[in-house]
Amino acid sequence: MSHFSIQNGVLHADSVALPAIADTYGTPTYVYSKTALMQNFGAYADACAGRDALVCYAMKANSNLAILDLLAREGAGFDIVSGGELLRVIAAGGDPGKTIFSGVGKTVDEMKLALEKNILCFNVESIPELHRLNEVAAGMDKRARVSLRVNPNVDAKTHPYIATGLKANKFGVAFDDALETYRAAAALSHLDVVGIDCHIGSQLLDDSPLLEALDKLIELIDALGKEGIDLHHLDIGGGLGVNYGAEGDKPPVPVGEYLGRLFKRIDAWRADKYDGRPIKVIFEPGRSIVADTGVLLTKIEFLKPGAEKNFAIVDAAMNDLMRPTLYQAWMGVQPVTPRAGEQLAYDVVGPICESGDWLARERALAVEPGDLLAIMTAGAYGMTMASNYNTRGRAAEVMVDGDQVHLIRQRENPADLFSLESTLS
Ligand SMILES: *Cc1c(COP(=O)(O)O)cnc(C)c1O
């Protein structure tokens, strides 16, 4: 069920009317629903109940401290991709002991920080990274727990920018090189080889590529066991998609169904080969936890009719929400107070000096200047990808909890934006 719905002719987030939020906090503003967040995380938590499983929220999807705090309280771990994200986990009261560190380019300083904080595991993506991590750990007289990110070479059938599990990708260790890479890792003095992981792509609507990847991981775990390398966990990554609402879009497989199939396969394998001895299972969902918890609230500044196209120029722009221009992503546009009357086809664009500055194209809308629009399903990869291009302060963020509204990030002032800069004198 959507937590953003029209009630009495006005779009609400749970029971709060969005115009009230625009009045208080201005626009553009990201608006999130706490209930939606709890429900999305709950779907994972319920499917994992009673198992040795850990849901490590991939916080690059949305790393606001309020969101991290709420998820940490529900028992979430975190999947981080930088030292900065680890500092966010800690600032939000999350547990570094439930945090895994992904990414192809970890620096020495990031490794040191993560070892100091005693994170659960490094998801290592290459042999040079193994050597660097071993050296850093040795220098600190510590041991680093590692998992290898394996590239199972399955086609996730998604947008090329968000497909990560194919051979031609920069991510992970090639499936055919995995055994050798594990042997190299096991031979290093300050590493404990504890797991295997993969992440094949994002916005997957069907779970068959994920189950195919699982089979590849299982094959490797068995082969490694024969060599005396026993893994304690299996991490299948994130990637489950959401419904952005475009016409003809196929809905994603529900979380419970996907996890049900995955655990069934794992249980059968463990029963068959390991006398039923379980293996810890880790997930790294990002988008499926936060995407539909948020909208970007924006105001129409001008309408500009054209010979070929009509433009609705809004106060949000590509710097606030990159997905449309970066991935040619389709995002829903909902007038906050829908009007009767004739609809025209509009491109919804921002004020930035780039032709790529659009949020939606060819949408039938009946709107007037000053109207509010909600860009739907904007909770993932929205605010975290925002920039200050054109010296635009980033949007405010608020979270609705029932009938309460909490400001969870203040709008940036222009003065904040150049406060770290200095002239030559
Ligand atoms: C981005 C990312 C995720 C999360 O992907 P979603 O599609 O948002 O679920 C998980 N793991 C890794 C390694 C990632 O880079």
Assess whether 156 and 261 both reside in one domain: yes
Per residue in 80-118, pLDDT tens?
A: 999 999 999 999 999 999 999 999 999 999 999 999 999
Burial class (CB in 10 A: 0-12, 13-18, 19+), 8: exposed
Give the separation between CA 58 and CA 358, rounded to whole angstroms: 27
Domain boundary (232, 251, 283) is at 283
What local confidence, expressed as pLDDT, does residue 158 receive? 65
Range of the domain at 157: 103-283
| pLDDT digits 0-9 by tens, 39-71 | 999 999 999 999 999 999 999 999 999 999 999
Q: Is 286 annotated as a binding residue?
A: yes
Q: Residues lining ligand 1, judged by CB closer than 6 Å?
A: 58, 60-61, 79, 102, 199, 202, 237-239, 284-288
Pair 412, 394: CB distance under 8 Å: yes
- Catalytic-residue membership of 198: no
Please report, for the domain that includes residue 161, its CATH number: 3.20.20.10
pLDDT at site 160: 61
Compute, in angstroms, the gap from residue 73 CA to the centroid of ligand 1.
21
CB atoms within 10 A of CB 345: 11
Q: Is residue 52 part of a domain?
A: no
By CB atoms closer than 10 A (0-12, 13-18, 19+), residue 379 is buried
User: Could you please report the per-residue DSSP string of 160-173?
Assistant: GGGB--STTSSSSE
Q: Are residues 298 and 413 in the same domain?
A: yes
Same domain for 253 and 271, yes or no, is yes
Encoding tokens for residue 10? 């006005």
Determine the pLDDT at residue 167: 64
Last residue of a domain, one of 257, 283, 309: 283
pTM for this prediction: 0.96
Nearest to 37 by CA among 61, 53, 9: 61
- CATH number of the domain residue 378 falls in: 2.40.37.10
72 part of a folded domain: no
Q: Are residues 338 and 276 in the same domain?
A: no
Does the annotation flag 339 for ligand binding? Answer: no
Q: Are residues 17 and 113 in the same domain?
A: no
Domain assignment of residue 19, yes or no: yes
Asked if residue 44 belongs to a domain, the reply is no
Domain finish residue from 217, 252, 283: 283
Are 324 and 266 members of one domain?
Answer: no
Q: Domain for residue 62, yes or no? A: no
Peptide bond into 28 cis (omega under 30): yes
Domain count, the chain: 2
Per-residue pLDDT of the chain in tens (425 residues, 90 and over written 9): 589 999 999 999 999 999 999 999 999 999 999 999 999 999 999 999 999 999 999 999 999 999 999 999 999 999 999 999 999 999 999 999 999 999 999 999 999 999 999 999 999 999 999 999 999 999 999 999 999 999 998 877 666 656 666 666 778 899 999 999 999 999 999 999 999 999 999 999 999 999 999 999 999 999 999 999 999 999 999 999 999 999 989 999 999 999 999 999 999 999 999 999 999 999 999 999 999 999 999 999 999 998 889 999 999 999 999 999 999 999 999 999 999 999 999 999 999 999 899 999 999 999 999 999 999 999 999 999 999 999 999 999 999 999 999 999 999 999 999 999 999 98
Distance of CA 79 to the CA centre of its chain: 9
Asked if residue 332 is part of any domain, the answer here is yes
Distance 18 CA to ligand 1 centre (A): 30
Q: Of the residues 56, 121, 198, 353, which is catalytic?
A: 353
Ligand 1, residue 285: give the atom nearest the CA.
9
The whole-number pLDDT of residue 166 equals 61
Type of residue at 21 = I
Give the C-alpha separation, 142 to 31, whole Å.
43
pLDDT given at position 153: 87
User: In 10 A of CB 287, how many CB atoms?
Assistant: 25
CA dist., res. 16 & res. 5, Å (int): 10
**Which residue in the block uniquely carries the two structure tokens 């295997």?**
196
Q: Is 265 labelled a binding residue?
A: no
Torsion angle of the four alpha carbons 203, 385, 338, 11, in this order, in degrees rounded to the nearest 10: 80
Rounded to whole angstroms, the Cα distance separating 72 from 89 reads: 9
- Both 157 and 266 in one domain: the answer is yes
- Shared domain for 219 and 273, answered yes or no, is yes
Residues 201 and 266 in one domain: yes
386 lies in some domain: yes
Indicate if 256 and 299 belong to the same structural domain.
Answer: no
What are the phi and psi torsion angles at 32 (to 5°)? Answer: -115, 155
Classify residue 119: in a domain, yes or no: yes
Same-domain check for residues 241 and 331: no
Alpha-carbon span 260 to 254, nearest angstrom: 10
d(CA 31, CA 47): 28
Q: Could you tell me the distance, in angstroms and rounded to a whole number, from the CA of residue 3 to the centre of ligand 1?
A: 24
Q: Where are the alpha helices (DSSP H) in 49-173?
A: 65-73, 83-91, 108-116, 127-139
Looking at the fold, whether 269 and 314 belong to one and the same domain comes out as no
Q: Is 258 assigned to a binding site? A: no
Q: Of all atoms in ligand 1, which is nearest to the CA of residue 81?
A: 15
Phi, psi torsion values for 134, nearest 5 degrees:
-60, -45
Question: In the numeric block, which tokens belong to residue 387?
Answer: 């920039």
